[in-house]
Structure 1
Amino acid sequence: MQTKDDSLIDRREAAKYLSVSPGTLAVWDCTKRYDLKPRKIGRAVRYRRSDLDKFIEQQLRR
């Protein structure tokens, strides 16, 4: 069973959550700049909210 933090969200929602554009997320995924662990479901890209939270925490520690 998934918790709310493990829910999958699309690129548009993930970008809004991180306060960046969807294009920025696409570039980060393509260049592997940050390991946001995107999941591909068919042609759709999804992100776990918990992975985005970990990314935010890592950025705050810098």
Structure 2
Amino acid sequence: MDKNRVIGSAKQVKGAVKQAVGKAAGDSKLEAEGKADKVEGKVQNAIGGLKDTVKDALKGK
């Protein structure tokens, strides 16, 4: 498993927490930061998945 997948998943969780806290506290800036962290984590996770796919394909040759 590529390290980007692990880091991306962690960022998604962090973003979800920030978003929830921001929403509960009425802090729209914190909520927006949480949404941004979640998106960044999803992208990083997807990159890690692509790297894993490429590695697996190269091992198969």
Normalising by structure 2, report the TM-score: 0.30
Mark the structure with the bigger radius of gyration: 2
Point out the structure with the larger strand share.
1
Normalising by structure 1, report the TM-score: 0.29
